[in-house]
Structure 1
Amino acid sequence: MAELNSDEPFIDTNKLIFGIGQVQQITGVSGRQLRYWESQNYISPIDQKKGVSRQYSLHTLFLIFHINRFIQQGFTLQAAVDHAKEFDAQIPALRQFLKKQLKGVEISDDQTVIDFGYFNAQRTKRVYGVIDRNGQTFFEIRDVK
């Protein structure tokens, strides 16, 4: 299994910037909706020069995606924003956990196995996340040899 643990980011996500047209294409949210969400302070474009079209950060793109996802699930706009922001607040903890625990991924024809490292302080067992060929997911705890 290839080691994934590194303190260096794969890519500087602050440099990933999307124009309003790209955001509309990616998320399916209209420009009109985006401008309304901005007027309500639910989202913010990147500070820009006068005469330049709106641009959004990757972080805002994900927020827009999640707001829209919750709306499609039947939530009101305000509830969708609240849920999206709650989810957004959980991301740093998930990122930190995965950064420290993710040890590697092994892909074969019939399954993908994700190594989450040791299960216990004694280092006698490891935890693996498995995705089988049907897309089913589950955990396995294996003895260390």
Structure 2
Amino acid sequence: MSPITEEFRKMFVHEKLRISMSELSQAANVSPSQIRYWERKGYIASEQDQQNKSHKYTLMTLVQVTGIKYFLDEGFTLPVAVKKQKEHQVMAKSFKHFIGDRLLDFENDEKTGATLINLGKLDDAPDKEVVAIVQGPGHVKLTLRNRQ
């Protein structure tokens, strides 16, 4: 695994990435006052280095906020939206585990300009590996190749 791939995995899987309240608000399309309220109610959590310093949020908190907002937009009350989001949080954690277990490496294909993402060997064909070929939004293909 290349060092840059390892850094990406650490950022994503080990939740090194932190965003500010304004970034969370913008990314999830919710107001900062909603975020503060949800935090006071214990629905989400932030980190602060020192008292009166700005709040920092993890990628999983962004997933939580986005989920809560989705269920609110579907017409559920806030307590029900939070409950439903928690029920669906297992999918987000599963995706995190998938990235941690299967993102082995990525590289640029100089011929095509595509990014090749190595997702590892097939369990039932250990001499083959799955590679995602990413050429932009809506242009992702999965292919098998002989293990290198």
Q: TM-score, normalised by structure 1?
A: 0.64
Alpha-carbon RMSD across the aligned residues, in angstroms, is 3.7
Paired with 1:107 and 1:15, the residues of 2 have a C-alpha distance of 24
On the 8 A contact 1:116/1:126 being kept in 2, the answer is yes
Question: What SS class does the counterpart of residue 107 from structure 2 fall into?
Answer: strand
* Aligned positions, number: 140
Higher RCO, Cα 8 Å, sep 6+: 1
Stretches of 4+ moved more than 6 A in 1?
none
Paired with 1:44 and 1:141, the residues of 2 have a C-alpha distance of 41
On the 8 A contact 2:132/2:143 being kept in 1, the answer is yes
What is the aligned counterpart of 1:132 among 103, 126, 135? 135
Q: For structure 1, which segment, 81-90 or 108-117, has the greater mean C-alpha deviation from structure 2 after superposition?
A: 81-90
Q: TM-score, normalised by structure 2?
A: 0.63
The aligned counterpart of 2:55 is: 55
1:67 counterpart = 2:54? no
Higher helix share: 2
The answer for unaligned runs of 5 or more in structure 1 is: none
Query: How far apart are 1:63 and its partner, in Å?
Result: 2.0
Distance 1:80 1:137, change over 3 A: farther
Distance 1:111 1:41, change over 3 A: same
Paired with 1:103 and 1:34, the residues of 2 have a C-alpha distance of 35
The answer for unaligned runs of 5 or more in structure 2 is: none
Paired with 1:84 and 1:131, the residues of 2 have a C-alpha distance of 30
The aligned counterpart of 1:16 is: 18
Paired with 2:54 and 2:136, the residues of 1 have a C-alpha distance of 42
Paired with 2:107 and 2:2, the residues of 1 have a C-alpha distance of 7
On the 8 A contact 1:44/1:56 being kept in 2, the answer is no
Larger radius of gyration, structure 1 or 2?
1
Task: Tell me the alpha carbon deviations over residues 48-101 of structure 1, each in whole angstroms, 9 at most, x when there is no partner.
Answer: 73xx266243143442233224444x3524454334334433344433333232
Amino acid at match of 1:125: K
